[in-house]
Structure formats: C-alpha cells, structure tokens
Amino acid sequence: MDKLIITGNGPLDGEVWASGAKNAALPILCATLLSEGPVTIGNLPHLQDITTTLELLGRMGVEPVLGERMTIQLDGAQVKDCHAPYELVKKMRASILVLGPLLAHFGTADVSLPGGCAIGSRPVDLHLRGLEAMGAEISVENGYVRARVPGGRLKGAHVFFDTVTVTGTENLLMAASLAAGTTVLENAAREPEIVDLADCLIKMGANISGHGTDTITVVGVERLHGCEYDVMPDRIETGTFLVAAAMTGGRVRVRKTRADILEAVLAKLEEAGASITTGADWIEADMQGKRPRAVNIRTAPYPAFPTDMQAQFVALNAVAQGTARVVETIFENRFMHVQELNRMGANIALEGNTAVITGVEQLSGAPVMATDLRASASLVVAATIARGETLVDRIYHIDRGYECIEEKLQLLGAKIRRVPG
C-alpha cells in the first residue's frame, strides 16, 4: 500500500488549480444511464471513485468513449444488464446512485446494498422510501436491493425527506426526470453538486425547477437525450488547499474554482485571520505569516458549514491560538482523525459529537494512519506544518477524492513524496 512521506517545510506559497468535483461527477456519470444518446462529460477528475463508476457502467453494457479535452462519452441506451455487483458497490457506496436512473429508464434494478462506512452507518432508507412512493416495488434479499416498476414507468409523487440527504435527493431527482407526472421533493438537499446534476439533466431535456432550494419540482418527460456537460469545480478540494495556507501562515491561490459555493468556509478562514481575495474563477488565502486564531465550527447541510471540511478545520485549530469547539451533526463517527492528530502532538478531547481543541505551538511528525477520505486530508495538511517527518499510511483513502495531491502540494512548496507500499 502506497504511503506519503511529508516533512514540515514552513509556509506554503503559490498557485494550484481545482479539479472537477467528485461529488458532482459521480451522480452526473450515473445520470447518463437515463439518456437515449451520447452524453459527453468534461472536467472529470482522475480519481479512483471515477474509475470505479466507469467500471460499474461498463458492467451494465455502457462503453465509455474517450474524447478530446479528456472528455468521456457515455450512452445509456447501451444498457444490457441492470445489475450493480457487491464487489463494486463495496468499494464505493455512491454506487447506489445507479438505482434511480435504472428504475426510471428500464423499470428494473438489482443493486448491492451499501454497507456501513468508517464515518457512520449511512443507511439508504430514504432513497428506497422515495422510490416506493413513485411506484417501485422494492425488497432487500441476499444483500441486494431488488427493485421493479409494475407497469414499467415510475409516477410522480410528493416526497418529504425526514433528514436532508444529498445522494437521496440526487437519486430521486434522476428518477423523477423520466416519471409520469410531477414530483415534488421537499426538505431536499441544496448542495451545489445537486444544482450541477440538475443543470446537466436539464441539458439532457429534463424539466426541473427549484434545484438549490429545499423544494425541487420535476415534471417527468418521455425520454432524455445526449448533451455535452462540464463538471463543476471541487469546493472541498479548494477549501482543503486554502486551509493548508492558513495553517502554515502561507499564501495560496486556487484557480479554476468558484467562491460563491464556499461562503461558509471562507467566512471561517477570515475569522481565523486569513485575508481572502477572490476573482471570477479563483480564490486566494493569505495568512501573511500569522498563526491562525481558533474558530468554532458546527457542521450542517448546505449552505451551512460542510461536514467534508470538518477534519481539515480540526487540524487548523490544532495549531491555532486559543481553544475551539467543533461540532459534527451529520455523521455519528467522523472524528477518526483526532487520535492520529493527537499522536502528532495535538491537544484534542472528544465529548460526544464535539471535539474540544486547544491549539499548540508546534506539531511533530509521526507515523499516522488514514481512516477515511477527509481524515486523510487533515493528516496531510497537518504534516506540512509539523516538525520533522510524517508517514501517512493507507493513502488509498485520499486517492479516492484528491487528484495528484502530492504534485499539487509540491507546487506550493511542500516536501511530500509518495512511496510505493
């Protein structure tokens, strides 16, 4: 297993670009199952999860065609087998996003039920209940969701989500696009990645309104066609590099990104003492050599502070001036990075869903273990400011969501290299 070796090397300084957003690319790739014609997708990040999704679509009969500008062309009309096998779903729980499109386009789907994951139990009951409200008959047998649509076509429904769910909203949004009649999704998630998916579906011919608000209305259409669509920039990757600037007292400009989808994060960076400047497609955080100030954080659904930036801000608070409280309200087990940061000399105590962090002057390098995607990002940024060498193990986690992390950090002056395991 590959590892990363990182030696603290003072303030990070320079420019990097944001890749396409993983959490927009995954549902958009699955949405191609709805099309009757080629969908050409651009700005796709080169990540393990993208590869897994293309493999999943390939198993169903959809052959990816590589185009100019590194685009990928996919045609849902090629589907021959509406089956998502365990060995792929276990690698990536977002595979559940094929369920809605397969049911809506082909009236049948067998999808392995995602298991729990490091950050929480993460059930998909709201996905299944919503699809049942649209007329699907669903059973869970032998670890698989077996779903059928008597009569072959889903019908519009009024769905209220008990809990705000990102992929639940995405699954029903895709299903409703080809359903007979109107669907209203209430208490829907408002994440920018959902707006990106809806914009792509609209280019395929869908009739959607209210995306980006907590009430989305979809008037189903008979069929969806091909289109060309570029995936939005990754706001979490962008935020991670800006936190690295703030932690190291440096100055980092992230290009090919958007400030309007990062308001909660940028506000917290300013509170920590960073000077934030933005342009049409760039954001710069400049700490002017200062030590960050401790900032309190409470995660919640968009537009509030994203849970996917929580671990990075725990790391920032670990070297900040003062004491901070970080409250995680979305996932029940998303503090696995805390003990690893304490191994690097941080002073963090856990009280239920709250991390109480007393900033220290200096972290020290140590061998640490990545446990999930964002936890691994927090260990990597912490290592860029720690005295001495840090060895980060199990970095397959970070490869799932960060494209060329070491090359990009090297551009900012970090001393980081990958060693094959």
- Find the binder of ligand EPZ among 168, 192, 249, 359 (CB under 6 A): 168
In whole angstroms, the minimum distance from the beta carbon of 139 to ligand EPZ comes to 17
Q: Which stretch binds ligand EPZ (CB under 6 A): 158-166, 196-204, 250-258, 260-268?
A: 158-166
| Spatial distance between the Cα atoms of 11 and 277, rounded to a whole number of angstroms | 18
Neighbouring-strand partners of residue 6: 390, 416
Q: Which of 82, 117, 200, 404 is catalytic?
A: 117
| Spatial distance between the Cα atoms of 379 and 292, rounded to a whole number of angstroms | 17
Tokens coding 359: 């900033």
336 φ/ψ angles, rounded to the nearest 5 degrees: -65, -20
227 catalytic per annotation: no
Cite the DSSP H helix spans in 226-372.
Answer: 235-248, 263-271, 310-318, 336-343
Q: Is residue 126 part of the contact set for ligand EPZ (CB under 6 A)?
A: yes
In whole angstroms, the minimum distance from the beta carbon of 330 to ligand EPZ comes to 5
Q: Which residues contact 416 (CB under 8 A, 6 or more apart)?
A: 4, 5, 6, 7, 380, 383, 384, 406, 409, 410
Write the binding mask 275 to 304 for ligand EPZ: x where contact by CB under 6 A, - elsewhere: ------------------------------
Write the binding mask 23 to 62 for ligand EPZ: x where contact by CB under 6 A, - elsewhere: x--x------------------------------------
Residue with smaller CB distance to ligand EPZ, 53 or 177? 53
Helix (H) or strand (E) holding 382: helix 373-383
Q: Is residue 195 part of the contact set for ligand EPZ (CB under 6 A)?
A: no
Task: Please give the size of the binding site for ligand EPZ, defined by CB under 6 A.
Answer: 22
| Spatial distance between the Cα atoms of 213 and 219, rounded to a whole number of angstroms | 17
| Spatial distance between the Cα atoms of 18 and 85, rounded to a whole number of angstroms | 32
| Spatial distance between the Cα atoms of 92 and 96, rounded to a whole number of angstroms | 9
Residue with smaller CB distance to ligand EPZ, 127 or 408? 127
Tokens coding 325: 């409280």
Write the binding mask 314 to 353 for ligand EPZ: x where contact by CB under 6 A, - elsewhere: ----------------xx----------------------
Q: Which of 334, 398, 405, 327 is nearest to 368 (CA)?
A: 398
Write the binding mask 79 to 118 for ligand EPZ: x where contact by CB under 6 A, - elsewhere: ---------------x------------------------
Q: Is residue 403 part of the contact set for ligand EPZ (CB under 6 A)?
A: no
Three-state SS at 91: coil
Tell me the catalytic residues. 117
Interface residue list for ligand EPZ (CB under 6 A)? 23, 26, 94, 120, 122-127, 163, 165-168, 307-308, 330-331, 373-374, 401
